[in-house]
Amino acid sequence: MPYLLLYAGFFLFIFSVLMLFTPSLNPFDLVMVEWMSQHRTVQLNTISTTLSAIGGMPFVLFLTTIWCLYQAWYKKYTNVVFISLGLIGSIATVWLLKYIISRPRPPEIYHLVQSYGASFPSAHSVYAATLGCLAIYLSLEHPKHRLIWLCAFIWLLIMGISRIYLGVHFPSDVLAGWSIGFIWITLLYMLYVKFSRAKTN
């Protein structure tokens, strides 16, 4: 699983960068935003705006704080460090890339929610992939790990799609966001496993 997610992350990141910097692929990004804007419904609007609220940094920080407190209650302090570093690293990476690349968002005519910062990469997609990967790796020995994996992937998938639907991100922004979550958490997990083994020896 770790290497699969790592390879998927690198593939998605390379593909998203190609979409960003290849002129012939740029129109595809806007076409997808336009297409989704033409297929909006009241129900989907409500769902997507709700996802926007719960997928943003304030709620994600609240959720991970509760998660860390739960892990600390059971004295799983290594998990607390893993979760904390995972989220902090993701936040730092996504906002640094936003600042460096400074890609404008899709035209405001498509926006259904207020957005902040540059477009590339999608912060909501990074947070969703980060939480999803953390849940996947921390549940490897859980009896219902397959269900947790499925829920994690559904979560990051609908969060990414909702950002395009809301008109505040291009598809390449979302792909880049997922890739950052996959790569960072997987590399961190490999260090986490190495540290855990060294601790038990």
Predicted confidence (pLDDT) at residue 159 exceeds the cutoff of 80: yes
How many whole angstroms from its chain centre is CA 147?
19
pLDDT tens, residue by residue, 112-155:
998 888 999 999 999 999 999 999 999 888 888 999 999 999 99
- Give residue 108's identity as a one-letter amino acid code: E
Cβ pair 77, 192 in contact under 8 A: no
Fold of 2-200: Vanadium-containing Chloroperoxidase; domain 1 (1.20.144)
Going from the C-alpha of 100 to that of each of 9, 95, 119, 125, 150, the distances in angstroms are 20, 9, 11, 18, 34
Between CA 150 and CA 134, with CA 185 as vertex, the angle to 5 degrees is 45
The sign of the torsion formed by the CA atoms of 96, 7, 3, 52 equals: positive
Secondary structure of 116-153 in HEC code, one letter for each residue: CCCCCCCHHHHHHHHHHHHHHHHCCCCCCHHHHHHHHH
pLDDT tens, residue by residue, 170-197:
999 999 999 999 999 999 999 888 877 6
Residues 6+ apart with CB under 8 A from 188: 82, 85, 86, 89
Question: Which DSSP helix (H) or strand (E) runs through 103?
Answer: none
Question: Would the pTM count as exceeding 0.85?
Answer: yes
pLDDT at 144 (0 to 100): 86
Cβ pair 96, 124 in contact under 8 A: no
Tell me the C-alpha distance between 124 and 2, whole Å: 22
Tell me the C-alpha distance between 135 and 137, whole Å: 6
